[in-house]
Structure 1
Amino acid sequence: MEKRNFTIKDIASMADVSRGTVDRVLNNRGKVSEKARRKVEEVLQRIDYRPNLIARTLKNHRPFTIWLLMPDYTNDRYWQQMYQGVMDAYAEMEPFGIRISSVRMGSTEDAYYQDFSSVLQNSPDALVIVPFFTDTCFNLYRELEERKIPFVLLNSPIKDVNYGCFIGQDYFMSGRNAAYFMDILTRSVAPKRTILILHIGVQTENATHVEEKEIGFLDYFRERDASSTIEIIRFEAELDMGLLDYKLSKADGLFITNSKTHVAEDLLRKHPSVKIIGYDMIPENIELLREGTIDILLNQNPKLQGYHGISIVTEYLLYQREMPKNRLLPIDVLTKENVSGYL
């Protein structure tokens, strides 16, 4: 059948029913006999009917405002990629009456809590949150639950909180994957390996994702090679270059649990025999991967996290579509041989 725009009057005529019947079938409201519904649905299928979703949404829904709570992305490539994913989704959802208010959360515990509290005072329709300082903010998540405000978590899940959806990865398995590849890369020096786990710029107690990676990594070696020495180093603020230089001089492998591998690039080049596994397609990391300084990057896909966060909560607001409790993204394994296929 030739494609054209069919009106309710056209469909009613073709189905031999009233226009009111067609309207009730299209909008799933009111009583319609099974015979009449079947006749209308047969016509809709025959003409390949596609409703004007934008017009329907604007007619039946008020505008919604989604508040985005995430770290300052000004000088951080990882958060920039996540924000880009949010904006890509927003560009698609804006015609449906969706608005986004973005808050760059304070980096200290007190500032983060105050920013979070201020957002709740604005009666948000929904929130998309990158969680930090979860113990401090636990009462705010409880408030969201009590007020029945839907919220989605990106990057880090939170235990004992009834969030709508978590979007990220299985970080325990991510850590085990990193350990598996480290095992292969350093097998020539087994069983007396010394492997470092390095956390840069995070407090593990406030960042579930890096804590779970550490646990998964240790779990793998506990099962497969308990004789290896694994040392955990934490730099919550600036790197201690002297200490890290010393540790690398005695190490066979280095596992960096977030996207900041490139911060230590000069030291990494100084110790070319150390096998290095890091995270994420930050341009500086990709360059280090291509030159052979980094052996493997595991990609967490922050851009896709941001995109799914807005999309999922939008579908919930507009159509009451149930949110999946967890949207786990695949763990991409990048080497210098395959990285071009991801760019």
Structure 2
Amino acid sequence: MEKNKIIRIKDIAKLSGVSVGTVDRVIHKRGKVSDEARKKVEKILKEIDYTPNLLAKTLGSNKTNKIAILVPHPEEDPYWKLSLDNLDAAKKEWQPYQMQIETYFFKLNDEQSFKKAAKNVLKNKPDAIISAPIFLNVALDFFNEIEDLGIPYVHFNTMINGVSPLAFIGQDLYQSGQLAGSLIALSTPSPSGTVAILHISEKVQHSVHFIEKERGFRDYFKEHQFNKMEVVSIIIEGDDMKSFESKLVEAIKSNDIKGLFIPTSSGAKLTANIISKYKLPNICIVGYDLLKENIELLKSGQINFLINQNPNKQVNRGIYHLANHLLFKKEPPNLELFPLEIITKHNLDSYIKSNLH
């Protein structure tokens, strides 16, 4: 069969040696088919990677499928704005197939805001849901509820235990923390001193993605027996920048910090600027994501490494998997893990020009 040629049911019937009616019953899972005939048809379907014509199927139906996206408000953090960068293009792409994509926002550090947004999602009766389940306790309640309602859902960015999404899309957060540890260890000439994970205005105890990153970071130094390298957490609450500066400078000086791991996208800019302002000793900084300000800091050498997470691609893959599930009952992979991409000033330009991000 020629590549890209439209495969018709009668073509499949000819290849498998059965009738057109038999092929139709196998594809649509209706009526009686002998085991022998089913195996013949399924063998051909697998060989040609057959998918029913999406447009013909959906245009013949009056049903509109609603996909809800439940995420932190994009104005609160540039990472979440980045996650929705290609959303308009995705909406346009899926519109001919009668997919309606709706966004619901909650405040990044407010569990009650998450509860309210989740309630609004259910009120509008979506057919499927994409979400980043940041808050552990309230997230568990919400996803247990939608499982009881039979609503399929996909997680991106953060994976939690105790629930059963169709798929998780994102990075292995534990390995991400381990990677950060290895980058700092490689960049720290002295085997002694202190390395730190910096939490800025985060509810760490409820934020699964921060917990996993820190666990991986700490375990890296334990497993590789850096006995003289102490790992500490620096937790700075509040929004007052003057207070933030003084707390960070005091923490760095009092702990003799050699390396800083910052598990948020926006934290690298705040930290690097303060280190530069106070002319603190050379500290290796590992941050996240290709935000505009992070790119500039990487180019100038104020931060050493960025671990890129491709948040916009995570959302788009979630839409893709749910759309295919709603249309064809197609099961996505349980895990779709994105690679842990290390970006430095030396490979930044080639990476950006490759259009992979």
| TM-score bracket relative to the smaller structure | 0.7 to 0.9
Q: Against the structure 1 CA distance between its residues 8 and 331, is the aligned structure 2 distance closer, same or farther, given a 3 Å change threshold?
A: closer
Following superposition, the deviation at residue 4 of structure 1 comes to 9.8
Which AA in structure 2 matches 1:205?
Q
Q: Work out the CA distance in 2 between the residues paired with 1:160 and 1:4.
A: 44
Equivalent residue number for residue 245 of structure 1: 249
**Which stretch of structure 1 is more off in the superposition, 331-340 or 114-123?**
114-123
Q: Work out the CA distance in 2 between the residues paired with 1:120 and 1:6.
A: 39
Q: Work out the CA distance in 1 between the residues paired with 2:9 and 2:342.
A: 52
Equivalent residue number for residue 205 of structure 2: 205
Q: Against the structure 1 CA distance between its residues 237 and 131, is the aligned structure 2 distance closer, same or farther, given a 3 Å change threshold?
A: farther
Following superposition, the deviation at residue 76 of structure 1 comes to 2.6
SS of residue matched to 2:257: coil
**Which stretch of structure 1 is more off in the superposition, 315-324 or 103-112?**
103-112
Equivalent residue number for residue 166 of structure 1: 168
Following superposition, the deviation at residue 23 of structure 1 comes to 6.7
Which of 313, 337, 354 is residue 328 of structure 1 equivalent to? Answer: 337
Q: Against the structure 1 CA distance between its residues 273 and 311, is the aligned structure 2 distance closer, same or farther, given a 3 Å change threshold?
A: same
Q: Is the 8 A contact 2:135 2:208 kept in 1?
A: no
Equivalent residue number for residue 275 of structure 2: 268
Which of the two has higher C-alpha Rg?
1
Deviations 1:109-144 (A, max 9, x none): 212112212221222211111112221342221111
Which AA in structure 1 matches 2:245?
M
Q: Is the 8 A contact 2:198 2:233 kept in 1?
A: yes
Following superposition, the deviation at residue 106 of structure 1 comes to 3.2
Equivalent residue number for residue 97 of structure 2: 96
**Which stretch of structure 1 is more off in the superposition, 200-209 or 146-155?**
200-209
Q: Is the 8 A contact 1:134 1:158 kept in 2?
A: yes
Q: Against the structure 1 CA distance between its residues 145 and 236, is the aligned structure 2 distance closer, same or farther, given a 3 Å change threshold?
A: farther
Deviations 1:240-286 (A, max 9, x none): 11010122333111111111211233213233511111111111001
Q: Work out the CA distance in 1 between the residues paired with 2:106 and 2:213.
A: 24
Which of 291, 303, 312 is residue 294 of structure 1 equivalent to? Answer: 303
Equivalent residue number for residue 319 of structure 1: 328
Following superposition, the deviation at residue 308 of structure 1 comes to 0.9
Following superposition, the deviation at residue 230 of structure 1 comes to 1.6
Following superposition, the deviation at residue 147 of structure 1 comes to 1.0
Which of 98, 111, 116 is residue 109 of structure 1 equivalent to? Answer: 111
Structure 2 unaligned regions, length at least 5: 353-357
Structure 1 residue 220 and structure 2 residue 220: aligned?
Answer: yes
Q: Is the 8 A contact 1:90 1:310 kept in 2?
A: no
Following superposition, the deviation at residue 236 of structure 1 comes to 4.2
Following superposition, the deviation at residue 152 of structure 1 comes to 0.9
Equivalent residue number for residue 141 of structure 2: 139
Deviations 1:309-336 (A, max 9, x none): 1111111111111122221110000010
Q: Against the structure 1 CA distance between its residues 31 and 331, is the aligned structure 2 distance closer, same or farther, given a 3 Å change threshold?
A: same
**Which stretch of structure 1 is more off in the superposition, 3-12 or 26-35?**
3-12
Q: Against the structure 1 CA distance between its residues 4 and 305, is the aligned structure 2 distance closer, same or farther, given a 3 Å change threshold?
A: closer
Q: Work out the CA distance in 2 between the residues paired with 1:51 and 1:322.
A: 15
Q: Against the structure 1 CA distance between its residues 145 and 29, is the aligned structure 2 distance closer, same or farther, given a 3 Å change threshold?
A: closer
Q: Against the structure 1 CA distance between its residues 290 and 321, is the aligned structure 2 distance closer, same or farther, given a 3 Å change threshold?
A: same
Structure 1 residue 233 and structure 2 residue 234: aligned?
Answer: yes
Q: Work out the CA distance in 2 between the residues paired with 1:183 and 1:66.
A: 43
Which AA in structure 2 matches 1:268?
I
SS of residue matched to 1:135: helix
Following superposition, the deviation at residue 162 of structure 1 comes to 1.6
Equivalent residue number for residue 120 of structure 1: 122
Following superposition, the deviation at residue 149 of structure 1 comes to 0.7
SS of residue matched to 1:322: coil
Deviations 1:182-241 (A, max 9, x none): 11100x2213x2111102232222221111111111111112202212210123443611
Q: Is the 8 A contact 2:170 2:338 kept in 1?
A: yes
Deviations 1:7-32 (A, max 9, x none): 999999xxxx9987887788676678
Structure 1 unaligned regions, length at least 5: none
SS of residue matched to 1:157: coil
Q: Against the structure 1 CA distance between its residues 175 and 25, is the aligned structure 2 distance closer, same or farther, given a 3 Å change threshold?
A: closer
Q: Is the 8 A contact 1:156 1:207 kept in 2?
A: no
**Which stretch of structure 1 is more off in the superposition, 281-290 or 137-146?**
137-146
TM-score by length of 1: 0.85
Q: Is the 8 A contact 1:275 1:295 kept in 2?
A: yes
Equivalent residue number for residue 304 of structure 1: 313
Equivalent residue number for residue 59 of structure 1: 60
Structure 1 residue 83 and structure 2 residue 84: aligned?
Answer: yes
Q: Against the structure 1 CA distance between its residues 99 and 134, is the aligned structure 2 distance closer, same or farther, given a 3 Å change threshold?
A: same
Q: Is the 8 A contact 1:84 1:303 kept in 2?
A: yes
Q: Against the structure 1 CA distance between its residues 222 and 50, is the aligned structure 2 distance closer, same or farther, given a 3 Å change threshold?
A: closer
Q: Against the structure 1 CA distance between its residues 58 and 266, is the aligned structure 2 distance closer, same or farther, given a 3 Å change threshold?
A: same
Q: Against the structure 1 CA distance between its residues 11 and 146, is the aligned structure 2 distance closer, same or farther, given a 3 Å change threshold?
A: closer
Q: Is the 8 A contact 1:289 1:336 kept in 2?
A: yes
Which AA in structure 1 matches 2:274?
L
Q: Against the structure 1 CA distance between its residues 342 and 206, is the aligned structure 2 distance closer, same or farther, given a 3 Å change threshold?
A: farther
Q: Against the structure 1 CA distance between its residues 58 and 259, is the aligned structure 2 distance closer, same or farther, given a 3 Å change threshold?
A: same
Q: Is the 8 A contact 1:171 1:213 kept in 2?
A: yes
Q: Against the structure 1 CA distance between its residues 190 and 104, is the aligned structure 2 distance closer, same or farther, given a 3 Å change threshold?
A: same
Q: Is the 8 A contact 1:85 1:302 kept in 2?
A: no
